[in-house]
Amino acid sequence: MNYFIIDFDSTFIKNESLDILFEISDPNNNDKIREIKKITDLGMNGHISFSESLKRRIKLLEASRKDIDKAVNNIRLNISDSFEKNSDFIRKNRTKIYLVSSGFHEIIDPIAEEFNIIKNHIYANNFVFDDNEIVTGFDDKNVLSMDKGKVEIVKNLNLDGTIHVIGDGYTDYEIKKEGFADYFYLFAENIKRESLINNADFLVKSLDQFIKIVE
Ligand SMILES: [Mg+2]
């Protein structure tokens, strides 16, 4: 039995969902947007720890529940082309697919549900809100907010079969590195992180290429 662990940001969708939320919540603040992207990249390339990168970014975030809804609407129009195209594959394999993301349920769930991803197969972080529906932080007890969170999630799934991880970032590769996946597919449709090429079993430029390999 094959299982597919799929990343969300820059894999299932074209961009980083948190970057989009930043742009929407503080539209003309280019310095801040640049700073956020820099922190994201440092984390994705493995130069700073993931939890450090999340902490630094959320500290700079000033977003409301409404901003999150706007971000979801934006992301809906920016699904990766090959994921949009292969929604049948996703539906047919829904029992084998797990979405494991360091992004946030509040953004990911509405999109994932449209692709028929099983609700309890979605693993992500949670925002914390104040009484005025403003984001004040994130649930730091959620394992995905911690270093090696994705590794921990996949380990605890205890899947009996061949585990394929598809993603664009270091934390996706880490699942295989730590021994809880059989294959890591570096997904390069949206971004090709050169520093990860040597760690990948396969470099795939689209979900079509991935499907060709696994089917
Ligand atoms: Mg990603």
For 181, the domain range is: 2-14+79-214
Determine the distance separating the centroid of ligand 1 and the alpha carbon of 197, expressed in angstroms.
14
Instruction: Enter the DSSP assignment of 104.
Output: E
Q: Is it the case that residue 4 has pLDDT exceeding 80?
A: yes
Q: Which residues surround ligand 1, an ion (CB under 5 A)?
A: 7, 9-11, 168-169
Determine the distance separating the centroid of ligand 1 and the alpha carbon of 111, expressed in angstroms.
15
Percent of the chain with pLDDT over 90: 85
Is 34 part of any domain?
Answer: no
Q: Is it the case that residue 44 has pLDDT exceeding 80?
A: no
Instruction: Enter the DSSP assignment of 12.
Output: I
Determine the distance separating the centroid of ligand 1 and the alpha carbon of 134, expressed in angstroms.
25
Domain containing residue 207: CATH number: 3.40.50.1000
| pLDDT attached to residue 136 | 95
Determine the distance separating the centroid of ligand 1 and the alpha carbon of 64, expressed in angstroms.
23
Is 32 part of any domain?
Answer: no
Query: Would you place residue 33 in the very low, low, confident or very high pLDDT band (cuts 50, 70, 90)?
Result: confident
Is 7 part of any domain?
Answer: yes
Is 91 part of any domain?
Answer: yes
Query: Would you place residue 40 in the very low, low, confident or very high pLDDT band (cuts 50, 70, 90)?
Result: confident
Task: State the pairing for strand pair 202-204/135-138.
Answer: unpaired
Pick from 122, 121, 119: which is nearest to 103 by CA? 122
Is 142 part of any domain?
Answer: yes
Query: Would you place residue 145 in the very low, low, confident or very high pLDDT band (cuts 50, 70, 90)?
Result: very high
Q: Is the pTM of this model over 0.85?
A: yes
| pLDDT attached to residue 193 | 85
| pLDDT attached to residue 183 | 98
Is 164 part of any domain?
Answer: yes
Is 52 part of any domain?
Answer: no
| Overall number of domains in the chain | 1
Query: Would you place residue 194 in the very low, low, confident or very high pLDDT band (cuts 50, 70, 90)?
Result: confident
Q: Is it the case that residue 147 has pLDDT exceeding 80?
A: yes
| pLDDT attached to residue 84 | 98
| pLDDT attached to residue 89 | 97
Percent of the chain with pLDDT over 70: 100
Determine the distance separating the centroid of ligand 1 and the alpha carbon of 132, expressed in angstroms.
30
Rounded Cα–Cα distance for residues 202 and 117 (Å): 24
Look up residue 180 and give its two tokens. 């809880």
The predicted-structure confidence for 108-135, as pLDDT tens digits, reads as follows 999 999 999 999 999 999 999 999 999 9
Look up residue 153 and give its two tokens. 């999630």
Rounded Cα–Cα distance for residues 35 and 19 (Å): 10
| pLDDT attached to residue 50 | 84
Rounded Cα–Cα distance for residues 14 and 99 (Å): 15
| pLDDT attached to residue 151 | 98
| Residue 214 near residue 164 (C-beta atoms within 8 A) | yes
Is 143 part of any domain?
Answer: yes
Rounded Cα–Cα distance for residues 178 and 114 (Å): 32
Determine the distance separating the centroid of ligand 1 and the alpha carbon of 187, expressed in angstroms.
9
